[in-house]
Amino acid sequence: MLDINYKQVAKTIINDSMKLNEDDVVWILAGDHNLPLCEEIGIQTWKIGAFPIIEMQSDNLMKRMYKETPDKYLKKPHTGLANIRKHITAFIYMEPLKDPTTLESVPAYKKIAYMTSAMPAKKVLWNGDVKVSLFLYPTPEMAKAYNVSWEFYHDRVWGAIQISPDELYRASKPIKDFLTGKKNIHITSPKGTDLRFSIENRGILLCTGEDLDENRELGDANLNIPAGEAFTSIVEDSTNGVAVFDKVFVDGTCVDDLRLEFKDGSAISFDAASNKDKFGEFFNSLKPKDKIAAEFGIGTNPAVKGVIGCLHTDEKIAGTIHIAIGSNLMYGGKNETPLHFDMIMPGPTVVADGETMMNAGRLTING
C-alpha cells in the first residue's frame, strides 16, 4: 500500500491547492475516522496565521440524527448555520461517513428533507467568495461497499490524489478549449445511450486540484480531491433521449445498467438490471427540480481505472463522462435544489456541434 504522509498532504491542501492566506477562517468538516488528517490540516492552518473551526461527525451521530430528530426539525432551514458561515473564507469537507452504507435504511424522504433544510448554509458556500475543498478520505468500509480490496481502494484514491495539478491541467485544458463556444452535445454508447442537450453560453470549468483564477472568474471556487475533470452546466430544458450508466450507487447499493429517459430537460422514467426498487425509492422521492439534467463532465485523471461505484473517483476516470441531475447553480446554471446526483458512463462517443471529441472513450481532440 502507498505510504501517506498526512503532514505533507495537509500542507499541500492548505498552501498549494487552496492557496490559503493569513487571517483566512477555515471551516473543516470531518469524521472521527479521518481525525489524523483533520488534525494536521488544523495545525497547518494555524501555522500560516489562519484560524480553523473543526466540526466533527461520526456514522453513529448521523444515523441517530435521522432516527431521533422529529421530521419537523429535519425540515427546519439551517438559517443560523448559514449566518455563521457568512464569516468564513474557506471550507474543507472530508467525507464524514466512514461507511457509505450507514444511512441506507433511512427513508429517502428524510434525506431529502434534511438536504432541503441545509440549502441556506450550502448557498453561502456557492457564492464564489468561499474557497471550498471536497476531500475523499478512503476507508476499509468504503472498499467493502464497492466490493474491492482495501489495498486496491486505498491506492486508487491516494494514487489519484498524487497526480499533480499541472498534469491534470494539461489533460483538461484542451477539453475546455474545444467546448468553449459549442452549443449542442450528442452522446451515444454501446449500451444504448442516445442523449442530446445544450451547453450554449455555459462556462467550461476545470477540476485540477488547484484553485484556478479562470474558474473563479466563472463563479466557481470549488475543489474536488481527487481531481481530474472538465465540466459545465447543462441548459436546463434541453436534455432529450436516453442515457445508460453502468453502475450507480444509492446509499451503498449498486444499481447496474441504470437507464434514464429524459424529456425537455427532465428525467421522466427509468429501468435497471439490478436493484430497480432501490433506485425507484430514491427517484420517486425527488421533486421536479431534482430530476433536471444539470451537469456534463469528462474525466481526465490517468491514475484511476475502472468504474467501481465510488463517485468521487469514478467521475475522474479518463475515458468516461458523467451526467448529474439536480442543482447546477454552483456551475453557472439556473437550477437551484438541494440534490446533485452524478452518474458515470464509460466508453461513450461524444459529438459537439457535429465534431467528434470522444470516440468510444478516447479523446480525439488535440491538446
Q: Are 81 and 184 in the same domain?
A: no
Residue-level pLDDT at 104: 87
Confidence bin at 248 (pLDDT 50/70/90): very high
In what order do the strands lie in the sheet containing 131-135? 51-57, 25-31, 90-94, 131-135, 222-225
Residue 304: give the domain boundaries: 180-203+227-363
Q: Are 267 and 325 in the same domain?
A: yes
- Asked if the structure places residue 329 within a domain, the reply is yes
User: Are the C-beta atoms of residues 354 and 223 closer than 8 Å to each other?
Assistant: no
Residue-level pLDDT at 272: 97
- Would you say residue 198 has pLDDT above 70? yes
Least confident of 64-68, 281-285, 353-357: 281-285
Q: Are 57 and 124 in the same domain?
A: yes
Residue-level pLDDT at 252: 74
Residue-level pLDDT at 126: 81
pLDDT tens string 209-226: 998 888 877 777 688 999
pLDDT tens string 78-118: 999 999 999 999 999 999 999 999 998 999 889 989 999 99
Q: Are 71 and 124 in the same domain?
A: yes
Give the domain CATH number at 14.
Answer: 3.40.1830.10
The residue behind cell 456514522 is: 59
Q: Are 187 and 334 in the same domain?
A: yes
Residue that is last in its domain, among 137, 170, 190: 137
- Asked if the structure places residue 130 within a domain, the reply is yes
Q: Please state whether the peptide bond connecting residue 302 to the residue before it is cis, i.e. omega within 30 degrees of 0.
A: no
Retrieve residue 65's grid coordinates.
440524527
Q: Are 231 and 351 in the same domain?
A: yes
Confidence bin at 367 (pLDDT 50/70/90): low
For residues 313 and 152, what is the distance between their CA atoms, to the nearest angstrom? 13
- Asked if the structure places residue 166 within a domain, the reply is no
Residue-level pLDDT at 213: 83
Buried residues in 250-263 as b, exposed as e (16+ CB within 10 A): bbbbbbeebbbebe
Q: Are 52 and 120 in the same domain?
A: yes
Q: Are 96 and 191 in the same domain?
A: no
Q: Coil, strand or helix: which one is 222?
A: strand
Q: Output the CA torsion sign for 100, 106, 112, 118.
A: negative
What's the domain count of the chain? 2
Buried residues in 212-231 as b, exposed as e (16+ CB within 10 A): beebeebbbbbbbbbbbbbb
Confidence bin at 251 (pLDDT 50/70/90): confident
User: Are the C-beta atoms of residues 198 and 179 closer than 8 Å to each other?
Assistant: no
Residue that is last in its domain, among 137, 154, 169: 137
- Asked if the structure places residue 258 within a domain, the reply is yes
- Asked if the structure places residue 169 within a domain, the reply is no
Residue that is last in its domain, among 104, 137, 170: 137
- Asked if the structure places residue 162 within a domain, the reply is no
The string of DSSP codes covering 22-55 is TT-EEEEEEEGGGHHHHHHHHHHHHHTT-EEEEE
For residues 30 and 9, what is the distance between their CA atoms, to the nearest angstrom? 15
Dihedrals phi, psi of 296, to nearest 5 degrees: -125, 125
- Give ∠ CA 315-318-312 in degrees, rounded to 5: 20
Q: Are 186 and 131 in the same domain?
A: no
| Nearest partner of 9 among 34, 37, 29, judged by Cα | 37
pLDDT tens string 228-240: 999 999 999 999 9
For residues 79 and 276, what is the distance between their CA atoms, to the nearest angstrom? 36
Question: Model's pTM, two decimal places?
Answer: 0.92
Q: Are 185 and 133 in the same domain?
A: no
Q: Coil, strand or helix: which one is 280?
A: helix
The residue behind cell 504522509 is: 5
Q: Are 133 and 247 in the same domain?
A: no
- Give ∠ CA 2-6-8 in degrees, rounded to 5: 100
- Tell me which DSSP letter residue 14 carries: I
